[in-house]
Amino acid sequence: MKPGVASTERTDRWAADLFSRAEWVPRLLHLNLLWWGYTLCGGVLFGVFPSTVALLRVITVRLRGDFGLSSWSLYRIGFRRHFVRANLFGYATLAAAGLVGIDYLYLATSETEAIRPLRALAVAAAILLVLVAVNLAAVVAIADSIGPDSLRTAALLVVMSPLRTVLAAIAVVTLSVVLFVSLPLVGLIIGIPTIALAVCALVRPHPLIALPIDPVASKEQQQ
């Protein structure tokens, strides 16, 4: 192959790849509107978690190259299917985070040598909780299921795929700071979908870990 032809092909591939990535900008804007809309429909308190689960599911389907159903249809199905369980698991995770935070603040008030290992343990628990939560979000999106098996799979991924888990957690923290602290207006427009896209793109199912199966979804597919 001539050098000029090879260079042209590389340029074409680069341009096509850039165009493919640029297509996500309007998608993120659309998904952000859906996220806010469904969150408000749930009264915020009961809408934020199922809306986030639906968002993750839509992004996962799109990353697979599946454009059969519209984003609106996928979002509506995910929001309705996981409304109760998303709220249960979401607020359980918040409660666990709150307990860890309270424990750390309580231990931080003491300078006793015996308290320092407990303080370190609280920090380790907080880091582990973040890693499991990031994996749980991806597992729920990939398997379209929320339950104890999803939590078990998310915990196993921390051990089996530690690098991807850490990278995803770092991406979530970094994007959260950049989009909601440094660039709050941009964060308001595409912040949540961008963070969800990073999680779905970085976390992958492990070949040695079976993904959970949603009995409701499996029945719907059989009918």
- What total of structural domains would you count in the chain? 1
For position 203, what pLDDT does the model report? Answer: 83
For position 202, what pLDDT does the model report? Answer: 86
In one-letter notation, the amino acid at residue 79 is F
Q: How far apart are CA 166 and CA 59, in angstroms?
A: 20
pLDDT in tens, 181-209: 999 999 999 999 999 998 988 887 766 55
Q: How far apart are CA 169 and CA 154, in angstroms?
A: 13
pLDDT in tens, 39-56: 999 999 999 999 999 999
For position 76, what pLDDT does the model report? Answer: 93
- How many separate helices (H) and strands (E) can be counted in the chain? 10, 0
pTM for the model: 0.81
Domain containing 32 equals 3-222
For position 4, what pLDDT does the model report? Answer: 45
Percentages helix, strand, coil for the chain, rounded to the nearest 5?
Answer: 80, 0, 20
Q: Which residues of the chain have pLDDT under 50?
A: 1-12, 14-19, 214-223
For position 213, what pLDDT does the model report? Answer: 55
